[in-house]
Chain A
Amino acid sequence: MAELLQYVITGVSLGMVYALIALGFVLIWKSSSVANLALGQIVLISSWFAYGMLAQAGLPPWLGIPLVIVFALALGWVIERFTLRPLIGQPILSLIAVTLGLAYFFEGLVGIIWPKSLASLPPLFPQDPVHIGTAVIKQEFLWAAVIALVLFGLLSLFFRYHKSGIAMRATADDQMAVQACGIPVTRIFSQSWMFACVIAAIGGILISSIGNISKAPLVETGLQAFSVVILGGLDSFVGCMVAGPIIGLAETIGGGYLTKLTWEGIKEVIPFVIIIIVMIIRPYGLFGERRIERI
């Protein structure tokens, strides 16, 4: 039983971070119907940038982390302005392919600037493990969950009350009407990309403070975020927050118990199996808008 509690707590906290990253995906999808398949690579490049700031340049966290956020803002703006905006109105295939091209580009860029395969951030949180009941948890997990929850709360408030948050939701609803109201739609797109990149960067810092910074796991974080959005529903913020912990739990509990029954490393494919199952049973996800579209 001791392990179960351990799995539940780590799974839920990891899931929160996945949910946070997935939120960035949903944000872009809702405002501009672009599927950002470069999500994992954005997480990757911003984690390495954080490494560059905090470990290589040796900046203290209060200075380094804001710099990472500024970097993420710039990254989001550049991506939107130079690759997505020229493609507005193009078929969905082009929009998907352009993010795949970006994914390739970022992986190469990271390979050039940080040729190391493994690195770790300097500790951002206290290191002593916490005892909850019978489970022993690294503090990073709890901090990650708390930060993810707080950010989720802040973002919901932003979308509920702030003017540009409301403009973003309106754009998601009806682009024509928004344009008629005098809201520049392209600026909204730009903002949603910047937001998404910042969220991805924070998610990346949280994930890499739990584990290490290396290519494969961080890119996989992006793939896990895809399974979160598919399970939760592509256009639902709440769906993200519910599906994130489910995916996290499936990963830790499934990985913990199924490994003995099946092959090693079952953990890696659980998100993909969930994707396939959701696709067959309920393609719009748990909370997604149920669009009636005959194919």
Chain B
Amino acid sequence: MSLPAGIRNYTYAEDMAIFRTKTHWFFLIALLLVLFTAPFWFGNHWLSIANRIGITIIAVTGLNILTGYCGQLSIGHAGFMAVGAYTSAVLVGRLDLPFIVGLLGAGVLAGLIGIIFGMPSLRVKGFYLAITTIAAQFIIIWVIEHWTSVTGPNGIMDVSPASFGGIVLKTITSEFYLILGITIIAIFAVKNLARTRIGRAFVAIRDNDLAAEVMGVNLFRYKLTAFFIGCFFAGIAGSLLAHTSRAISPDYFQFKDSILFIGMIIIGGLGTTIGPILGVVFIRLLDELVTQLSPTLQNAFPDLLPGFTSGIAPMLFGLVIVLFLIFEPRGLAHRWQLFKAAYRYWPFSY
């Protein structure tokens, strides 16, 4: 299914290769070329959208490990992202540590906080876990808003741009390359993680935790590992967001963002590598389309209600999530698989 007809694997290395055929390599190289030359033909506006997409992909990829692979629902991912953002801002801005320390520190601290709030997952699941992570989201944001000696008035903080050694990444183009690099590393890491013992243990826990335990998967360790890895990615994404937007406030990490992250993995496809990418791109482009179109619509139809511009985006997101759940619960990733299969066997689809 995943290989075209007539391609056989003769060695273990061939069997394990992610990019197997010449076509794979061709498309990979073409995609990378397009991405790395993007600053030359994207305008600044689209480049900033691309940056946001990249950051969100990192966060959602983390959520996908936790929810998609390990089956532990987390509706507080924006909260964990906030932990990362503020950790990095404090480490770099207040303690004058290098950016790379801030980035990794953000990931590690977000992961540790994730472990703390993931503890109840050892006793509860499903709805209980969902509520626990919602509580985590609100407690984290509340602490950030009120711990003003560390986070500044109302949690609003200025953040210095990212830098490596003496090189300061000030322009949007350099930020784009930074985010692109980390996104590629993240996706590659998750793709491989999913094929290791850890990834397979996660899937076993998702599908049947009792059976997994009987087969020797240590639930305690693996669930907390999933929380750590998922929140580590969120922390990295938060740190990137902080250093590229130069100022952070708790408003960047709202509860509705957490819901939207869940929506993104559902739209993309749970438990697939490509799912988070497709889901994030889909939602962000929809968002952009709505922002571009709604003033025009408002002008064209003056009878529209005055709240149309602000309300239409959340309404559409909600609708898209519900429709995907009802009509295509396996997400865009499954559609993409179907398309590839149809393309390979064309014109003899049987």
Contacts and interface: CB of A to CB of B under 8 A. Distances in A.
Given A103-B259, A112-B312, A294-B210, A275 B321 contact: no
B12 to A, nearest CB: 34
Contacts, number: 160
Interface in B108-142: 117, 119-128, 130-132, 134-136, 138-139, 142
Given A100-B263, A104-B318, A105-B319, A111 B310 contact: yes
A279 B128 contact: yes
B306 A94 contact: no
A110 B123 contact: no
A189 B319 CA distance: 22
Contact of B311 (A93, A108, A226, A269): A108
* Interface residue range, chain A: 35 or more
Nearest to B137: A272
B314 interface: yes
A110 B142 CA distance: 25
**B73, B263, B306, B311 pick with most chain A CB within 10 angstroms:** B311
A98 B325 contact: yes
B259 A111 contact: no
A90 interface: yes
A295 B314 contact: no
B50 to A, nearest CB: 24
Contacts of B209: 295
Interface string B291-317: 000000000000001111011111111
Nearest to A110: B311
Interface string A88-101: 00101110111011
Given A112-B315, A265-B146, A273-B139, A234 B127 contact: yes
A226 B133 CA distance: 12
Contact of B142 (A90, A93, A115, A265): A265
B183 interface: no
B56 interface: no
A106 interface: yes
Interface residues of B, number: 58
Given A108-B315, A109-B311, A283-B120, A96 B130 contact: yes
A106 B311 CA distance: 9
A37 B313 CA distance: 20
Contact of A35 (B67, B127, B307): B127
A264 B263 CA distance: 33
Interface in A99-141: 100-115
Dominant secondary structure at the B interface: helix
A83 interface: yes
Nearest to B145: A265
Contacts of A106: 318
Contacts of A92: 126-127
A101 B127 contact: no
B325 A96 contact: no
Contact of B314 (A90, A107, A268): A107
Contact of B325 (A94, A107, A223, A283): A94
A276 B259 contact: no
Interface in B263-278: 263, 266, 270
Interface in A55-98: 83, 86-87, 90, 92-94, 96-98
B39 interface: no
B131 A111 contact: no
22 contacts: A37-B75, A93-B73, A98-B322, A98-B325, A100-B321, A101-B321, A102-B322, A104-B263, A104-B318, A105-B318, A107-B256, A107-B314, A111-B311, A112-B311, A112-B315, A113-B307, A115-B311, A223-B138, A226-B134, A230-B131, A268-B138, A295-B125
Given A101-B263, A107-B311, 16 more contacts: A35-B127, A37-B130, A90-B329, A96-B73, A97-B321, A101-B318, A104-B263, A105-B319, A110-B311, A234-B127, A269-B142, A276-B117, A276-B120, A279-B124, A279-B132, A283-B124
Interface of B: 67, 71, 73, 75, 117, 119-128, 130-132, 134-136, 138-139, 142, 145-147, 209-210, 213, 219, 256, 259-260, 262-263, 266, 270, 305-308, 310-322, 325-326, 329
